[in-house]
Structure 1
Amino acid sequence: MKAVTSNLNPINETLSRWHEMVAARELSKVGEIAREDVVFRSPVAHTPYHGREALTLVLNTVMNVFEDFKYYREFVSEDGKSVALEFSAHVAGKELKGADFIRFDEDGLISEFEVMIRPASGLMALGQAMGARLEGKLDVLKG
């Protein structure tokens, strides 16, 4: 997906930066476009994660787990404060499809980020790969 640049509102600027980070496969600075109290909901964890540090750790790690990651559709809410980004990827030979649901605040910062993934075999492969890379690191960040 191509990032749009021009005189954009804060949400569009943030979304454009997001797409640039994803295209570069480098999400270590995602905290710069998120609220300090951002909430991240994982497709494999019951309890949400809070804060920029957790968001950055999870998203940067998942970008290294996903193979052939590609966004192919984008939906924007009427108020422009929510987007759904539909994607596909592979993990450990399993194909998956998913959606990132991103909510922005009035300043254009990410306030909520939720991920949903199907089928179950792809989700399980992702959970195993992420668990191996993040073992013990996220427990400290839950709250």
Structure 2
Amino acid sequence: MSELKLHPNAAASLQQWHAMIRSHDLRALPDLLDPQAVFRSPIAHSPYPGAPVVSMILNTVIDVLEEFTYYRELATVDGLNVVLEFSAKVGDKTLKGIDMIRFNEQGKIVEFEVMVRPMSGLQALSEEMGRRLGAYLAASKA
């Protein structure tokens, strides 16, 4: 597979994202997020708006997903969108999914969308995220 042809700022942000994932430390994530960033969940119909909410969700999910591994990357022609394919576990459930990340020209994440399969993995993820963040996410939608 050929090298990704990302916009230079998006490429730098993606490199930072991968470093944070490898270190299992997302403390620097707010620096990568546009203030108006949105998170699109595989579970919820409506997006979760705002950098603080996106950061809270991603910081929680990195603790929920075990054996998380990215294994394929695809980029759009404009160099501002990337799809990262991953595998992980939640408890005894194995799942596969994709993170679709859209950057602006400054390299800030403006949209982070996740899709997960199979249903059993999605249900396990949904239950654990709900247990950890349900009240917070309900308040953020209000």
1:28-50 deviation line (CA, Å, top 9, x unaligned):
33121010000110111111101
Distance in 1 of aligned mates of 2:27 and 2:139? 19
Offset at 1:138? 1.1
Counterpart residue number, 1:120: 119
Give runs of aligned pairs for residues 50-69 of structure 1, distance below 5 A.
50-69=49-68
Supply the AA of the counterpart residue of 1:88.
S
**Quick one: percent identity of the two aligned structures?**
47
Aligned residues: 136
Runs of 4 or more consecutive aligned structure 1 residues displaced over 4 Å after TM superposition: none
User: Structure 2: 5+ residue runs without aligned partners?
Assistant: 1-6
Question: Is the CA contact (8 Å cut-off) linking 1:48 and 1:142 kept in structure 2?
Answer: no
TM-score relative to the length of structure 1: 0.91
CA RMSD of aligned residues (A): 1.2
Counterpart residue number, 1:22: 21
Greater percentage in helix: 2
Counterpart residue number, 1:44: 43
Offset at 1:141? 1.8
User: Structure 1: 5+ residue runs without aligned partners?
Assistant: 1-7
Supply the AA of the counterpart residue of 1:68.
E
Is 1:82–2:68 an aligned residue pair?
no
